[in-house]
Structure 1
Amino acid sequence: MTEMKTHDDYIAAAPEPFRAELERLRGLIAKALPDAEQVIMYNMPGFRVGSKVVASYAAFAKQCGFYCAAEALSEYADELKAAGLKPSKTGVTFPPMRPIPETLVIDLAQASARAAPR
């Protein structure tokens, strides 16, 4: 994979069926974290608050991913389960045709920012 320099580069390089969902995730995280800096870390788009990337997203062969602090995933475990999602320690993967609910993305991003060391 080519090294990405911006979120736009990442989304443009993703397979077409994933682009709309990646744009949606980017917009929701930006809405949740208006003061965060959009960065590329480990060739993946993320949102940095201070020195810590607190939320990021990605596209894979068959699914998308949303990544945040483990504390945020624990805090919203019931909501994730109710949405039919099974988080890992660091995030949630899902097919783009069955996205994470909008409010849950925002809540997870904000909870992740609160959990980040200052």
Structure 2
Amino acid sequence: MAKTDYKTIDEYQSVFPAELQERMQAIREIVHKVAPEAEEVISYQIPCFKYKGYLIYYSAYAKHISLSHPFSEALLEKFSKELKKYKVSKSAIQLPNNEPLPVDFIERLIAFRKKENEDTFKAKK
């Protein structure tokens, strides 16, 4: 993929094959369902959602879609059993493109991140 200067999530998604666009759009819709207040931005040239701070990023690749953010130890521990089936680092979870998108898992992960951001926001006040 050629380097470009994406300004919107639509621009980012449009350069991918239809199947990947559908998977990314599904993630986008999940974020808006769980965190309707979330703002869409492009950060590091990938889609990002902000809600009381950075909520979650996603990016697409030939074999997977990554959900990313510097994940907390609490998040990694809470979802440890489910994460065993994915390639995971401290900041990314790779969801293979040859498997159904784990919608329920993504919803719960976003809800957890949303609560983390809310708690951090409250603590700063």
In the superposition, relative to structure 1, how do residues 100 and 87 fare at CA in structure 2: closer, same or farther (>3 Å)?
farther
Check conservation: 1:65, 1:94, Cα contact below 8 A: yes
Paired residue total: 115
Fraction of identical pairs, as percent:
27
- What do the CA deviations read for 1:46-83 (whole angstroms, capped 9, x no partner)? 11012x211111012332111245232332111222xx
CA distance in 2, matches of 1:39, 1:64: 18
TM-score, normalising length: structure 1:
0.85
Match of 1:65 in 2: 66
| Greater RCO structure (CA 8 Å; 6+ sep) | 1
Distance 2:35 2:76 in 1: 17
Contact conserved, 2:46 with 2:58, CA < 8 A, in 1? yes
How is 1:32-111 mapped onto 2 (pairs within 5 angstroms)? Answer: 32-50=34-52, 52-71=53-72, 72-81=75-84, 84-111=85-112
Report the CA distance between 1:14 and its aligned residue: 2.1
Q: RMSD of the TM alignment (CA)?
A: 1.7
TM-fit CA distance, 1:94: 2.5
TM-score by length of 2: 0.81
Q: Which has the larger radius of gyration?
A: 2
